[in-house]
């Protein structure tokens, strides 16, 4: 009838007028918005959402997901802090892009810690708050990482010969510039200690550094 306002339906667009509290609640319920914490709380308060509690198995999955992602978040934040600290205390950061290494090794810690912390925090908060938006982002990020790891492993197997030759050339260049960069010195020492070797082929490779 003319002169009467129609109540908003699920498919009705938002009105351009300023909504009162009661009309806003009605539109939140009509549009089915469950991503916003306020809308979710209001839906639970008014009995619009399901009031069935989670089963024991679902609770176990929820808190295991929260704890595991919380642990990885802490590790990622520690790596991020260590990388930022390493970049801050370097005496000659302008030489990190022009030496034997293509980039500063601390950048790997910074970028890796940043990515892992964002993904882990999204899974941690998504599981704890039961936020579907964060959980979708978390699942997509984990799936993308698995796909990238699979592609990287396939490329390593397919290009094993050229990779070996490139690694050998990089190690020879690292020996030549051993004392030019403290990061390079540390990495090369750790590689030799871990593999219990000296030089690329033999100890005579170090004559290039004389």
| Residue 61 belongs to some domain of the structure | yes
pTM over 0.75: no
| Residue 43 belongs to some domain of the structure | no
How far is the CA of 79 from the CAs of 89, 106, 111, in angstroms? 15, 9, 9
Mean pLDDT, the chain, rounded, equals 75
Domain stop point among 124, 150, 176:
150
| Residue 184 belongs to some domain of the structure | yes
Residues 185-189: contacts with CB within 8 Å, 24+ apart? 187/105
Token pair, residue 27, equals 């539109």
Q: Can you give 87-110 as a three-state secondary structure string?
A: HHHCCCHHHCCCCCCCCCHHHHHH
If DSSP codes are grouped into helix, strand and coil, which group holds residue 126?
A: helix
Per-residue pLDDT of 149-192, as tens digits, reads 999 999 999 988 888 888 888 888 888 888 777 777 878 888 88
Candidates 151, 155, 139, 145; CA nearest to 65 is 139
How far is the CA of 156 from the CAs of 1, 22, 149, in angstroms? 71, 61, 10
Average pLDDT value for residue range 103-117? 84
Domain stop point among 129, 150, 171:
150
Looking at residue 94, what DSSP letter applies? G
| Residue 38 belongs to some domain of the structure | no
Q: How many domains does the chain divide into? A: 2
Candidates 35, 11, 15; CA nearest to 23 is 15
What range defines the domain where residue 121 resides? Answer: 57-150
Per-residue pLDDT of 7-50, as tens digits, reads 555 555 555 455 555 544 554 444 444 444 444 555 445 444 44
126 and 186 co-located in one domain:
no
What distance in Å separates the CA atoms of residue 131 and residue 100, rounded to the nearest whole number?
46
114 and 197 co-located in one domain:
no
Say what percent of the chain tops pLDDT 70.
Answer: 67
What distance in Å separates the CA atoms of residue 8 and residue 19, rounded to the nearest whole number?
12
């Amino acid at each position: 009838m003319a002169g009467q306002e129609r109540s908003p339906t699920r498919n009705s667009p938002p009105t351009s007028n300023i909504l009162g509290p009661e009309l806003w609640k009605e539109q939140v319920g009509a549009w089915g918005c469950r991503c916003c914490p306020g809308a979710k709380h209001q839906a639970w308060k008014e009995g619009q959402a399901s009031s069935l509690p989670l089963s024991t198995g679902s609770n176990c999955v929820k808190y295991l997901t929260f704890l595991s992602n919380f642990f990885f978040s802490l590790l990622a934040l520690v790596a991020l802090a260590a990388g930022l600290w390493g970049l801050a205390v370097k005496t000659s950061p302008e030489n990190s892009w022009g030496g034997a290494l293509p980039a500063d090794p601390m950048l790997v810690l910074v970028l890796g810690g940043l990515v892992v912390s964002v993904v882990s925090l999204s899974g941690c908060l998504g599981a704890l708050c039961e936020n579907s938006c964060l959980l979708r982002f978390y699942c997509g990020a984990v799936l993308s990482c698995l796909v990238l790891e699979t592609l990287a492993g396939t490329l390593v197997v397919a290009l094993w010969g050229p990779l070996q030759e490139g690694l050998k050339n990089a190690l020879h260049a690292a020996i030549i510039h051993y004392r030019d960069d403290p990061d390079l010195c540390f990495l090369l020492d750790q590689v030799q200690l871990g593999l219990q070797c000296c030089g690329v082929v033999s100890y005579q490779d170090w004559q290039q550094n004389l």
